[in-house]
Amino acid sequence: MLHLRLITPADRTDDVVRLIEGTVGATHLAVVPGAARRPEGDIVMVDVAREAGDELIAGLRELRIDEIGSIAVESIDLSLSKRAERAEEDAPGEGADAVLWEHLAEETHEESTLSVTYLAFITLATMIAACGVVLDNAILIVGAMAVGPEFGPLAGFCTALVQRHPRLALRSLTALLVGFAAAMAATVLFSLFMDAVGLFSEGRLEDERPNTAFVYAPDAFSFVVALLAGAAGTLSLTSAKSGALVGVAISVTTVPAAANAAVALSYGDTRQTLGSTNQLLLNLLGIVLAGTLTLLAQKWFWARKRANAGTRQAAVPE
């Protein structure tokens, strides 16, 4: 269940209440007239099944409550109420499958912003991966994958394509490209420093590396894994099962490929640089493609669910 707390101008409260009462899956409606002070207005509170939340929020935005008042949404961890159980049963679909588009857009907006923290994480991840490729250490590669924050802007870009938000798409793409460029540039300098102090060497990079050679050898499996990871990562975001993101992060060779390209570039090894760059681009393309298709499928699925629910509701006699 979701809990919505609204601040509505007094002349819009009746419209908001009618919208809520007409929403299948909404319950526990409460109105406190004149309680809000900044902005002035009434406070309206309601619980709604997660699978009906997106429709209600969209209706509230059509009434411009987000502009002239306020819409706050919280997840309810525990709700002991027969009415809540009936509301969840009446709402179409399953809560675990529901997509809250406003929440997704807000979450990906935050994750896809080019901030100092984002640059620090992607740079540190790339440097860790650089140590992993030179040492042929799979543990370091996995650690670097888990640290890398690149799925945020990738998810933001997919969301922007589906929701047709050019600004979010540009912001996400900027974070992705600038982030990787800055991380790779810093890793080139890091590699030169490590070579100067005798910790890196070209010989180590050129030696047989059975555990990490895959980062500069893209093949069909690279694209297949990227597609699967993109779909899994997008589902984990939309279904609020964020724990799955860790698995996604360590399944796709993005940061390690960028690290290998940077280290190889510092030694002038164009073969590995080009191979790693191709691996990186192939994985990014696969994730974006699968993520976008997953969101489009979910959008179509929930549109059908709502249409079917509306048809059934209209068929029920008064």
CA–CA separation, 196 and 219 (whole Å): 34
pLDDT tens digits along 75-89: 888 888 899 888 888
pLDDT at 278: 94
- Per the model's pLDDT, the better-predicted residue between 94 and 10 turns out to be 10
Q: With 70 as the cut, is the pLDDT of residue 314 above it?
A: no
Across residues 235-263, what is the average pLDDT? 75
- The DSSP element (H or E) to which 60 belongs, if any, is helix 50-62
pLDDT at 189: 97
State what percent of residues in the chain have pLDDT above 70: 86
Q: With 70 as the cut, is the pLDDT of residue 309 above it?
A: no
pLDDT at 244: 52
pLDDT at 91: 75
- Are the beta carbons of 239 and 97 closer than 8 angstroms? yes
Q: With 60 as the cut, is the pLDDT of residue 105 above it?
A: yes
**Rg, Å, the chain Cα set:** 24
Q: How confident is the model at residue 248 (pLDDT cuts 50, 70, 90)?
A: low
pLDDT at 95: 52
Cβ neighbours around 296 below 10 Å, total? 13
Q: With 60 as the cut, is the pLDDT of residue 60 above it?
A: yes
What rounded mean pLDDT belongs to the chain? 87
- Are the beta carbons of 179 and 118 closer than 8 angstroms? yes
pLDDT at 237: 77
Q: With 80 as the cut, is the pLDDT of residue 305 above it?
A: no
pLDDT at 233: 83
Global pTM exceeds 0.85: no
Cβ neighbours around 91 below 10 Å, total? 25
pLDDT tens digits along 182-224: 999 999 999 999 999 999 999 999 998 999 988 998 889 889 9
